[in-house]
Amino acid sequence: MSQSHLVAALQSAFGSDRILTSTEAMAGYLVDWTGNFRGEALAVVRPSTTAEVSALMRVCSENDVSVTAQGGNTGLVGGSVPLDGLLLSTVYLCTFEDFDPNSGQVTVGSGVTLAQLQEFAATHDLEFGVDLAARDSATIGGMTATNAGGIHVIAQGMMRKQVVGVEAVLPSGEVISTLRGLAKDNTGYDLTQLLCGSEGTLAVITKVRVQLHRPVATQLLVFGVDSISAALDTAAGFIGNISAAEVIDRASVECVHRVTGISVPFDSSFHLLLEVRGDLDFEALAQHEYLIVALDATDREKLWALRERVTESCAAEQVGVSHKLDVSFPQNTLGDAYTQLCDLLDRDGVTQVVIFGHLLDGNFHLFFTTPAADQEIEREVLELVARLGGSISAEHGIGRMKAAYLHLSRGESEISMMKALKSAIDPQGIMNPGVLFI
Ligand code: FAD
Ligand code: MLT
Ligand code: ZN
């Protein structure tokens, strides 16, 4: 379908001021956060109601035009920029409705950012279970579609655990809704959970009903440790009371220091940030030679910045092509995995190697650069992960970036079952083609 025909069809579907077609106007939507994935689109559309999304989807399915949903465009696996067709931005789907103070549930539009939801929760003395550094841009729709993780998975679970129900528009334009928010509803397949982690390949999520929680007071401890196993042993002393457990290697903190000036507490191979609930046993803490206990909110923020600023600091210092790999391992292989990853990346042409992540989720984030694009080294890393029984994607999803490697983490029959679901729901294959499956 030509761009002019499509735009005319869209304009009759809804107002033209929310349809972008010029190269300049579309530019920001067509490159991902890493800069590694660039896309094309006939148009960027920005619907403001579910009915408009439904009308849009009808136009696209009738004309076989592919649709890529985009929230905050902070995804890190190339799933949010289209190869062609229509980019559907959820930026104007930003309602708050049906807040229930007793259950602590609220229904939000997909385009509501994590920061906006956190702000809403705080006004009701509540908090949201998932937190991540991209909070100002990442949207609740995108976080649901990628089943985002973040720093509190150990205590609160991934995004899918916070999601009580969704409203979504299928490729045909039909609307499904599981927003009732029932604590128990055992009536057939769980379509809510099916859409969590679907990465825009099945439907456009238009609303999400989420569960908020009463905040629990925590204290932030920062340890200097010399190995991953020492970090795990230290964390073991607080098991049951941990709200976050983040590990950052020496290269990570040195990069943050160089870019932001934030001082590095210890001259140690790793820094371990533990957010713990309950009273501290200062006698037991005294045995740790390298330990800081954050005394107040300012201290806490400065120490958390050491971890939260790693991603942007790596990007700021990047020379050449960046590789960001989000992988997970069985916890008892974590120390060995770290060593094997370092050995694998210790070669000419690979620079700025940084490894950090969510320790008790077994989730490492690797960042490294090469002078030019290099699929080979990414394949080697992902094959190492598979050999150690890990997952090629811990929390960022598959996107375009890892679609060719899905078989390293999912069995043949699982992949054919997922493809059967995809073709039943999206028979024309218009939803985010190239994402999740090659
Ligand atoms: P986008 O990037 O816009 O889209 C991501 C995927 O979801 C795409 O496939 C897109 O098609 C699909 N999608 C988006 N909206 C919808 C919708 N309404 N309906 C259907 N499909 C949709 N991720 C983590 O898990 N944990 C972290 O700790 C974390 N930290 C980060 C820190 C930084 C600095 C950055 C830049 C990213 C980080 N991320 C993290 C990655 C990213 O923030 C998450 O993947 C987030 O869930 C993406 O949300 P988004 O709204 O930006 O989605
Ligand atoms: C994080 O935990 O900081 C994110 O997942 C982002 C990243 O991997 O860079
Ligand atoms: Zn992460």
In this structure, what are the phi and psi dihedrals at residue 30, rounded to the nearest 5 degrees? -105, 15
Looking at the CA of 255, name the nearest ligand: 2
Closest ligand 1 atom to 137 CA: 52
* Helix (DSSP H) and strand (DSSP E) numbers for the chain: 16, 17
> According to the model, what pLDDT value does residue 181 have?
81
CB burial string 31-42: b at 16+ within 10 A, e below: ebbbebbebebb
Tens of each residue's pLDDT in the chain, 438 residues: 778 888 888 888 777 778 999 999 999 999 999 999 999 999 999 999 999 999 999 999 999 999 999 999 999 999 999 999 999 999 999 999 999 999 999 999 999 999 999 999 999 999 999 999 999 999 999 999 999 999 999 999 999 999 999 999 999 999 999 999 888 999 999 999 999 999 999 999 999 999 999 999 999 999 999 999 999 999 999 999 999 999 999 999 999 999 999 999 999 999 999 999 999 998 989 999 999 999 899 999 999 999 999 999 999 999 999 999 999 999 999 999 999 999 999 999 999 999 999 999 999 999 999 999 999 999 999 999 999 999 999 999 999 999 999 999 999 999 999 999 999 999 999 999 999 999
Helix axes 3-13, 50-62, angle to 10 degrees: 150
* Residue carrying structure tokens 């190492």: 384
Which residue's CA is the nearest one to ligand 1's atom 44?
Answer: 75
Ligand 2 site, residue 365, Cβ cutoff 6 A: yes
Closest ligand 2 atom to 365 CA: 8
> According to the model, what pLDDT value does residue 5 have?
87
- Given a contact cutoff of 8 angstroms between Cβ atoms, the answer to whether 41 and 188 are in contact is no
Ligand 1 site, residue 357, Cβ cutoff 6 A: no
Closest ligand 2 atom to 150 CA: 2
Which residues, 6 or more positions from 351, have their beta carbon under 8 angstroms from its beta carbon?
319, 320, 368, 369, 370
How far is the C-alpha of 255 from the C-alpha of 243, rounded, in Å? 26
Looking at the CA of 76, name the nearest ligand: 1
Ligand 1 site, residue 69, Cβ cutoff 6 A: yes
Look at residues 390, 316, 340, 357 and name the one whose alpha carbon lies nearest to residue 35. Answer: 316
> Given CA atoms 202, 203, 209, 211 in this order, what sign does their dihedral have?
positive
> According to the model, what pLDDT value does residue 144 have?
99
Task: For residue 297, report the distance from its CA to the centre of ligand 1, in Å.
Answer: 28
What is the model's pTM? Answer: 0.97
